[in-house]
Structure 1
């Protein structure tokens, strides 16, 4: 995907910045948690075509063992 095009594109929902995830072929808006697909180098910037990106899981607290007697 052309770097100049990436600099111009914004999220169609919030007008915020997008991250290009090359491996998944999508543009991701972190603010709205939406991922817009890129087909043959052409971004599909329709809210109806986007998938919802799940929230990252909170790190689970480490289990602490009682002190050894």
Structure 2
């Protein structure tokens, strides 16, 4: 799927999911990344909770924001 500006539409990071991403799950692994570093997984509404839970269980989740807030 293409966005109006010709870029690919962001999709959910859940395995096998092809739904549009609505959420950005910002995380880091404190053993590997500096405290201010943020990696991002994208999530649709259906997978937001399960992906957040996966990251939170490992102590990696820092915050969840609407995808359109990620710059």
Report the TM-score when normalising by structure 2. Answer: 0.24
Report the TM-score when normalising by structure 1. Answer: 0.24
Q: Work out which structure has the larger RCO, using CA pairs closer than 8 Å and 6 or more positions apart in sequence.
A: 2
Look at both structures and tell me which one has the larger radius of gyration over its CA atoms.
1
Please identify which structure carries the higher helix content.
2
